[in-house]
Copies of this chain bind each other. A is one copy, B any other.
Amino acid sequence: MRALFLDNEVRLRRDYPDPRPVSGESLIKVEMAGICGTDLELARGYMSYRGIPGHEFVGRVIESGRAEVIGRRVVGEINAACGRCEWCDRGLGRHCPNRTVLGILGRDGAFAEHLTLPDENLLPVPDSIPNESAVFCEPLAAAYEIFEQTHIQPTESIAILGDGRLGSLIAMALKAERLPSVIAGHNRSRLDRIAALGLKVSLESELKPGFDLVIDATGRAEGFNRALELVRPRGRVILKSTAAASAPLNPAPAVINEITIIGSRCGCFGPALEALASGRVDPRPLISGIYPLEDGIAAIRAATNRSNFKVLLRAA
């Protein structure tokens, strides 16, 4: 099959062996995949990953032990857990130490014609959700993860650092749950585009400290320090950035101001899928381009261009 393959650099391969599902796994024909900041970090060495990247997808089940899903359009949770450890017993397979992670850790990903995932990871996509929305389910679930980790009062002031894909999706999720936030970035034209979606924006340099909650979605380790500058004493910081590179950081302000910092990664797909189905979140205005898999290298280049938001691959 055709696939984008990362091994120091990303290359298009036309001869990559088709994945074979093992027992309990389904084979999925990828219809659409999204390029995420994490994919770009993987190419910079994050996780020392070698394989097919891509973990945001919508596809159709071709083979499965679960007959009822064959032919169905699905999205899939990306952590493939062992199902036998204490983490899995506690319903936290996303933290299973034996897990593989689609396109990130020990499991080929979605920038390909086909992929495999455990049957239990798959969620059927209602017909009302087009592929162009369903492909956002994984990052939107990461946004909804915040609600699983901390209760946010409607009166709290919220700043999102990072005017990129994830920051915008988080703001959309917050707005859908009637929690207003301000997205902060450095680039006026990006901010103008986000503002056109009905979201509140600010130049980062113009933010005043004192937020109850600051969400770091900058994708850079440096976002940590800036979040600590902007949050009020005894406030909360949600960390969403996973970058390959360390940065010179000083946690002392977190100690002095007794900040609670909450690391936040993947979320359950259910609430995200429901938000897409109900129309409370429509992420399609974030799409900057849709490329055929064949043009995957150009698509990745486009995703690294800061004037673009979400770049999608159409595999079918």
Q: What are the nearest 4 A-B pairs in CB distance?
A: A254-B263, A95-B233, A261-B261, A249-B249
Cα(A244)–Cα(B252), bound, Å:
8
Question: A316 interface residue, CB < 8 Å from B?
Answer: no
Smallest Cβ-Cβ distance to A97: which chain B residue: B233
Which of the residues B248, B256, B259 comes within 8 Å of A246, measured between beta carbons? B248
Report the minimum CB–CB distance from A97 to chain B (whole Å).
Answer: 8
> Is A258 in contact with B221, judged by CB distance below 8 angstroms?
no
26 A-B pairs within 8 Å (CB atoms) are namely A92-B233, A92-B234, A95-B234, A95-B257, A95-B258, A221-B249, A221-B250, A221-B251, A221-B252, A224-B249, A224-B251, A239-B254, A240-B255, A241-B252, A244-B252, A246-B249, A253-B263, A254-B261, A254-B263, A256-B265, A258-B265, A260-B260, A260-B261, A260-B262, A261-B261, A261-B263
> Is B240 in contact with A250, judged by CB distance below 8 angstroms?
no
Cα(A131)–Cα(B241), bound, Å:
48
Question: A264 interface residue, CB < 8 Å from B?
Answer: yes
Which of the residues B247, B257, B259, B262 comes within 8 Å of A250, measured between beta carbons? B247
> Is A258 in contact with B252, judged by CB distance below 8 angstroms?
no
Question: A245 interface residue, CB < 8 Å from B?
Answer: yes
Report the minimum CB–CB distance from A95 to chain B (whole Å).
Answer: 4
Report the minimum CB–CB distance from A81 to chain B (whole Å).
Answer: 12
A residues contacting B by CB (< 8 A) are 46, 87, 92, 95, 97, 149, 221, 224, 233-234, 239-265
Q: List the B side residues contacting A149 at CB < 8 Å.
A: 258
Cα(A260)–Cα(B148), bound, Å:
13
Cα(A137)–Cα(B264), bound, Å:
36
Known: A92-B233, A233-B95. A258 touches B249 (CB 8 A): no
Report the minimum CB–CB distance from A192 to chain B (whole Å).
Answer: 29
Smallest Cβ-Cβ distance to A266: which chain B residue: B258
> Is B249 in contact with A255, judged by CB distance below 8 angstroms?
no
Cα(A242)–Cα(B252), bound, Å:
5
Smallest Cβ-Cβ distance to A227: which chain B residue: B251
Known: A95-B233, A248-B246, A249-B221. A258 touches B264 (CB 8 A): yes
Smallest Cβ-Cβ distance to A250: which chain B residue: B246
Known: A92-B234, A95-B233, A233-B87. A251 touches B258 (CB 8 A): no
> Is A242 in contact with B256, judged by CB distance below 8 angstroms?
yes
> Is B251 in contact with A248, judged by CB distance below 8 angstroms?
no
Q: List the B side residues contacting A258 at CB < 8 Å.
A: 95, 149, 262-265
Smallest Cβ-Cβ distance to A249: which chain B residue: B249
Report the minimum CB–CB distance from A115 to chain B (whole Å).
Answer: 21
